[in-house]
A and B are shown apart, each in its own frame.
Chain A
């Protein structure tokens, strides 16, 4: 239909229709070109540049485009860098597991036990509201919570649970984990609650009619159907935690160095090639993680 209208009028005039026909014929191309061009120029080329530069020669203050694997060798023979890689992976797994464990029950309640759509929305919005505070301020807000004279220590000692304040709460890996879990857990809750809310009630009812216990229904019906949500949530959390550096430096007093922190400090001291190596390794880790997660569930079919 949409091509027919201009071509009917085509014979009447000569100059305008040629232009118009050009637009209709290439409409698709013209619609796509700006977005694709933008992404190629400012997304693909920078990432390709990063891979390329990781093989350049690093001198004290500059990089030269002479190809070498020296930066890679330095990375894999240095305890600092390897340590950062291991720490990043450990922290990622910890945060991922905790966000799933503490996020799932909430999602289950919102998605399955709240039947009223309005209440469901209100609860989800309540979870999202903290996001309206700047990310860095949210990270910073954990300092007065976790410190030696922080809110948690005050509450715990007032309740008589502890006699001396717990000092390991702030400026340790634990504080980084706590901060990241609070910041990212909502990305786990959202997709799971979404999938749970979509489950057809008739399915659960028929399982119950057939005599399945609540636990069996959860294990055999509810959980498998929520799995795509879990995977989407896990992808969100993974991508964000693996690329983190601000939470780590703010809540660990720069003691916990992740790959992101390594990249930042290397760029700060103009060690571009090392930074690029760390960047490529981070990319590879992330690609492996996402591909692995997508293997579990075929998202295109499930969503």
Chain B
């Protein structure tokens, strides 16, 4: 028993170290984002603490030799693209998962066809699409060629999430509603949708974040109007400055805001579902 206890504590210590390893670069990045500007470089030691690079990212800093990040346009494109991808892939994912609620011939093939979309590396898909647009003379744009590949990438995630939801879904509730003469449309709105809503929300979150951060597919097919990841990649070739770190910290905060909204919506929907169940139980009693 003592042995097991010792093992437990050493594993706990190991896990702490492991998490420190995951966060290490991020902490260093956070510290260096407060480097003095514009002379201070992206390394230690900190010359003096300042918020210069944050001002630089937000376009508030006086012009210097460091070119500003193309935040405005690139970020707008990224968010617009992620939003469109989110809507289309959640829709496709829900439709396809709905079809999978009944067994049908060729289900296995279609399942693998969809899942393939998340397995094929971005480089290959980006290359294939670039070849096609080159041969057919289709211009490469972030809202055309890149968008369709984003959906190919995120649709499987939405599909799997919805499939898991439908698997746990009690079909008799829907059938009861039909049997009581409620129209299919109303049943969907009042019964089905509230039950699958947490899944839809998760699928949307998956699709949005994956698309927002998508890089290889966009690099090959996005054309000259860059999205945010491509803009960051463009700075790799030249010297990097702490403004990228400040931007990294800001985007992470943005992600947290998004995650919080997701958490709050999820909490509300769970609470509502619970309230409804207890309400029904009271009525029955």
A contact residues vs B (CB 8 Å cutoff): 1-2, 5, 28, 31-32, 34-36, 38-50, 53, 102, 105-106, 108-110, 113, 123, 126-127, 130, 132-138, 140-145, 147, 149-151, 154, 182, 185-186, 214, 239-240, 242-243, 245-246, 249-250, 260, 263-264, 267, 272, 275-276, 279, 282-283, 286, 290
Contact = CB atoms under 8 A, between A and B. Distances in A.
Nearest to B98: A31
B163 to A, nearest CB: 12
Contacts of B23: 130
B124 interface: yes
Contact of B124 (A50, A143, A214): A50
B92 A38 contact: yes
Contact of A140 (B22, B44, B110, B236): B236
Interface of B: 3-4, 7-8, 11-12, 14-15, 18-19, 21-26, 28-29, 32, 42-44, 92-93, 95-96, 98-99, 102, 104, 110, 113-114, 116-117, 119-125, 127-132, 134-135, 148-149, 151-152, 155, 159, 175, 178-179, 184, 209, 213, 215-216, 219-220, 228-229, 232-233, 236, 240, 244-245, 247-248, 251-252, 255-256, 259
A214 B184 CA distance: 56
Contact of A263 (B123, B152, B251): B123
Contacts of B25: 138, 141-142, 145, 182
B87 to A, nearest CB: 13
Give the interface centre of A43, A45, A145 by most chain B CB atoms within 10 Å: A43
Given A105-B14, A240-B121, A279-B123, A49 B128 contact: yes
B152 A133 contact: no
Closest 8 CB pairs of A and B: A243-B121, A46-B128, A132-B255, A141-B25, A137-B248, A31-B99, A35-B96, A141-B29
A108 B228 CA distance: 37
Main secondary structure of the interface of A (DSSP, over half): helix
Nearest to A259: B123
Contacts of B12: 109, 113
B123 A137 contact: no
Contacts, number: 227
Contacts of B149: 42
A42 B19 contact: no
Given A32-B110, A105-B14, A113-B8, A149 B215 contact: no
B216 A246 contact: yes
B129 A145 contact: no
12 contacts: A38-B148, A42-B148, A105-B11, A105-B15, A130-B22, A141-B29, A149-B43, A182-B22, A263-B127, A267-B130, A279-B123, A279-B127
